[in-house]
Structure 1
Amino acid sequence: MALPTTSLVPLLMLVVSSLQLMQASEGQMVPAVYVFGDSLVDVGNNNHLPVSLAKADFPHNGMDFPTNKPTGRFSNGKNAADWLADKLGLPTSPPYLAVKSKSPSSFITGVSFASGGAGIFDGSDQTLRQSIPMTKQMEYYQSVYQSLIQQMGSSAAQTHLTKSIFAIVIGSNDIFDYSNSSSARKQSTPPQAFAKLMATALKDHLKQLYLSGARKFVLAGVGPLGCSPRERLKDSANQDCDQDHNSLATLYNQQLKSTLQKLQSEFGKDFSYSYFDTFSMLYNMILNPAPYGFREVKAACCGLGDLRAMVPCIPISSYCSDRRDHVFWDMFHPTEAATQLLIDAFYDGPTGKYTFPTNIKQLIAV
C-alpha cells in the first residue's frame, strides 16, 4: 500500500538536506560562513539602503576587484569577507538584502548581514543616516535561521550551523561615535566604562547566536583607528596617529577578549572561537611597512586633499597608481593587499602572536 504523501515530506526533506551537505566542493572547509559587521566586511548590503551615505557602489572602489567594477565594498578590490571565503573554499556570502526574497537555498553556504556604518549600538551611524546595526542584523539572522530549519529540518540545520563559521567584525563605528561626541557624554561614561558597555552588548548578541545554532565564532578586534588617514589630519604638524581613538580601541579589545573567555567558561567546549588582534598586526604594518611590502602608511590611495583624506574616495578623487604599496585605500579602510595579509595571519598564523586561543584553521578542526 502506498504511503500517504504527507508522510513522505519529512523523509524527502532529510534526503535533500543530506545531499546539500554532501555537495561540498573539493577544498570547502566548512558548510557556510555567516557574516556580521560593518564596512570592513560589507559586500553590498548598503547598496540596498536608499538614504544611506555610507556607500561604495561607485568608482574608484572595486577597480582591482575581479570584475573591475564597484560592488559596494569599501576597497579597491576584495575585502576581509572575500579573503576569508577564499580561504574556506566558499563563494563570498551574498548580502542579505540582495537575497532575502529568493529561495532559502541562497542561505546554504552563508549570507552576510554586514553594513557600512553599523555599530554594536543603534545610532552609531547618525552622520551616515542609515545602516543595519547589530540589533537589526541579529533580527535578519533569526529569519535565516527559521528558513534553514524549514528547509533542512531541525536536526540537519543544527548540524549545518554547528560546523559553520560565524564571523563578526564590528565596533569601530561605536568608537568613532563616542570619540566625536560631547565632553558631557564622556564625563558621564568614561572610556573604560564605554568599552565595557560595548563588550557587554556584543556578548548578548553572541549568546543569542549560540542559542540559535552558532558554535564556531571568528571575531576581529578593532584596529588602530587613530592611524587612519582621516584621524591623522587632526595633527596638522606631524600627522601622527590620534591616541584617543587608539586608546579606546585598545580598551575595547581587552574587554572583548575577556568576554570571549567568559563565554567559553559559561558554555564549555560547545563555544569555540578565534580572536584576531587586528590592532597589533596593522599597527606593526604601519610602524614597519617594508617587510610587508608597503611604502605609504599615512596617506590614503584614493581621495583628495592632505593625505588624500579631506575628501572621501569618490569618482572625482585622485588615486595612487600602485595600490599594493599603500596600507590604506581610503580615509578609513585598508587596501586589498593589506587586508589579505591580515586574513592570512588570522587563518593559519602562529597562535599567541595575533590569534587567540586558536587560528581559524585550528578552529575548523575542533
Structure 2
Amino acid sequence: MNTHTHMHVHNMAITSHITRVGATMALLVVLVLVFICKAQAAAPAVYILGDSLVDVGNNNYLPLSLLKANFPHNGVDLPTGKPTGSFSNGQNAADFLAKKIGLPSPPPYLSLTGGATPITGMSFASGGAGILEETGGFLVKQALSLGKQVEYFTKVHDKLVTQLGPSGAEAHLSKSIFLIVFGSNDWFAYYNVGSVDVKQYSPQQYVDRMVSTFKGFLKTSYGLGARKLVVSGVGAIGCCPIKRKENRTGECSVEINYWSTKYNDGLKIMLEGLKSESLGMNYAYFDTYGAMVDLFQNHEAHGYSEINKACCGIGSLKADGPCTPLATYCSNRTNHVFWDLYHPTETVASLFAGYLYSGSQQFMVPMNVEQLLAL
C-alpha cells in the first residue's frame, strides 16, 4: 500500500471515528436534555378537575353547552392569537400552575381519542360545572359535573394501571398534583332566577350539601390513588362584573359573598377532617376569596386600575353580555382584573398561580404547592 492510500484509509478511519463521536455526543446531549426536563418537573403529572376558571377546552366537545370560549376575542394574547376554549385573553391558572411544576399544559380529556393516556396529566375541567349534579344543567344546559369528572378520572386510572402496572400507576398518582377548583357555579345557580334550590334549601343547608358532596368525591379520588390535593375556595364572586351590575351603585353583592365565605369555612374543616382519616393524603388550600379581596383593596400596588368593569363584553360594566366576536374589548388587558363578566384576565390568573405555587400562609394553608411537592 503506498503512502497516499495509507493516508487516505487513515483519514477515513479518523473521519468515521469523529462521526461516531459526534453521533455519541449528540445522543448524550439528547439524553441530558431529557434528564433535565424530567428533573425539572417537580411532579410526574398534574390532573385538573374544575369549572371554567381552569377549563382548557373540554366544553368545545359538549354539543349542548351554552358556555364555550372557542371563538374570538378569547385567546387574543396567546402567541397564536387564536382561541383555544379557555375563558381568558390568554392562559388560565391551570396552564400557569402546570408550567411552574415543569409540565406541559394538560390537554382536555374530551380531546383525547383512544390510544395511550398522556403521562403528564390532563384536564377534566368544564365551564359551568358544579359540585352538585344539577348545577351545570341549570346554568349552561351541559357541563361535566364534579361527579362526571371523577368518573372520567376513574377511566384514566384504569388506563394508567394497564400502561404502568398497578404499582407503577399507584406511584405515579401518589406523586401527581390534583388541582380542584369548584363551588362558584353552585352559588351562581342558587342565586339565579328560577333556581329550584332556593325553594328547597336554606343557604346553610346548601353549604352543608356542597361540602358533604365534595367530600364524597374527594374520598373516591383518594381511593383511586390521589394523594396531593390542591383545593381552591370560592372567590369573592359577588364582585364579578355580572354581580356588580345588578346593583345600581356597582357594589359587590354582599349576600353571595357572605355565603361563599361560609362555604369556604365548611370546606376548610372538611379538608382537615379528610386528611386525619386518609393515610398519606396531603392538601394545599387556596384562599381565593382572601386573594381577591386583597387584589381589590390593593389593586394599584398590584398594577391594576380597573377592578369593576370587564375588559371584553357589552353594555353596563361590559357585563350585559359575554365576550363574543361582536363584543368590544379593552386595549390594555394588563390593567383589568376581569377579562369578561365572570373570569379573570391572564395576568390575574398568573398572579394567583404564583400564590398557589409558592405563596405564604396568608393565602395558602396549611402549605403551598411547592411544599406539597416536597412531601
TM-score, length-normalised on structure 1? 0.90
2-structure distance, mates of 1:105, 1:239:
47
SS in structure 2 opposite 1:273?
Answer: strand
1-structure distance, mates of 2:275, 2:155:
26
Match of 2:296, as an amino acid?
A: I
2-structure distance, mates of 1:127, 1:29:
37
2-structure distance, mates of 1:205, 1:105:
22
Residues 265-292 of structure 1: CA deviation (Å, up to 9, x unaligned): 1114x01000000001111111220011
Are 1:202 and 2:211 matched, yes or no?
A: no
Which residue matches 1:88? 101
- How big is the shift at 1:88? 0.4
Which residue matches 1:115? 126
Match of 2:46, as an amino acid?
A: V
Work out whether residues 51 and 130 of structure 2, in 8 Å CA contact, stay in contact via their aligned partners in 1: yes
SS in structure 2 opposite 1:202?
Answer: helix
Work out whether residues 274 and 359 of structure 1, in 8 Å CA contact, stay in contact via their aligned partners in 2: yes
2-structure distance, mates of 1:123, 1:283:
29
Are 1:346 and 2:356 matched, yes or no?
A: yes
Match of 2:63, as an amino acid?
A: P
1-structure distance, mates of 2:212, 2:44:
29
Are 1:283 and 2:297 matched, yes or no?
A: no
Which residues in structure 2 correspond to 1:8-157 (within 5 Å)? 25-99=38-112, 101-106=113-118, 108-125=119-136, 126-157=138-169
Which residue matches 1:9? none
- How big is the shift at 1:349? 1.1
SS in structure 2 opposite 1:217?
Answer: strand
1-structure distance, mates of 2:370, 2:159:
28
> Which structure would you say has the larger Rg?
2
- How big is the shift at 1:188? 4.1
TM-score, length-normalised on structure 2? 0.88
Match of 1:346, as an amino acid?
A: L
Report the identity percentage: 47
Which residue, 358, 368, 371 being the options, matches 1:362?
371
Work out whether residues 228 and 328 of structure 1, in 8 Å CA contact, stay in contact via their aligned partners in 2: yes
Structure 2: gaps spanning 5 or more residues: 1-33
Which residue, 257, 270, 279 being the options, matches 1:259?
270
SS in structure 1 opposite 2:367?
Answer: coil
2-structure distance, mates of 1:312, 1:276:
27
Q: Which moved more, 1:175-184 or 1:308-317?
A: 175-184
SS in structure 1 opposite 2:49?
Answer: strand
Work out whether residues 294 and 324 of structure 1, in 8 Å CA contact, stay in contact via their aligned partners in 2: yes
Work out whether residues 179 and 244 of structure 1, in 8 Å CA contact, stay in contact via their aligned partners in 2: no
- How big is the shift at 1:187? 5.6
1-structure distance, mates of 2:120, 2:64:
30
Work out whether residues 309 and 330 of structure 1, in 8 Å CA contact, stay in contact via their aligned partners in 2: yes
**Aligned length, in residue pairs:** 341
- How big is the shift at 1:343? 1.0
Which residues in structure 2 correspond to 1:2-13 (within 5 Å)? none
- How big is the shift at 1:177? 0.6
Match of 1:29, as an amino acid?
A: A
- How big is the shift at 1:66? 2.5
Change (3 A) 1:133 1:23: farther
- How big is the shift at 1:234? 1.0
Match of 1:210, as an amino acid?
A: Y
Structure 1: gaps spanning 5 or more residues: 1-20
Change (3 A) 1:280 1:160: same
SS in structure 2 opposite 1:31?
Answer: coil
Which residue matches 1:18? none
Change (3 A) 1:148 1:69: same
2-structure distance, mates of 1:217, 1:27:
20
SS in structure 2 opposite 1:50?
Answer: coil
Which residue matches 1:165? 177
Work out whether residues 24 and 31 of structure 1, in 8 Å CA contact, stay in contact via their aligned partners in 2: no
Change (3 A) 1:22 1:266: farther
Which residue matches 1:300? 310
1-structure distance, mates of 2:312, 2:192:
24
SS in structure 1 opposite 2:122?
Answer: strand
Taking only aligned residues, the RMSD between alpha carbons, in angstroms, comes to 1.5
2-structure distance, mates of 1:213, 1:23:
27
Work out whether residues 117 and 156 of structure 2, in 8 Å CA contact, stay in contact via their aligned partners in 1: no
Which residue, 228, 234, 238 being the options, matches 2:246?
234
- How big is the shift at 1:345? 1.1
Work out whether residues 327 and 338 of structure 1, in 8 Å CA contact, stay in contact via their aligned partners in 2: yes
2-structure distance, mates of 1:58, 1:343:
25
Which residue matches 1:6? none
Change (3 A) 1:257 1:181: farther
Which residue matches 1:217? 229
2-structure distance, mates of 1:181, 1:271:
39
- How big is the shift at 1:182? 5.6
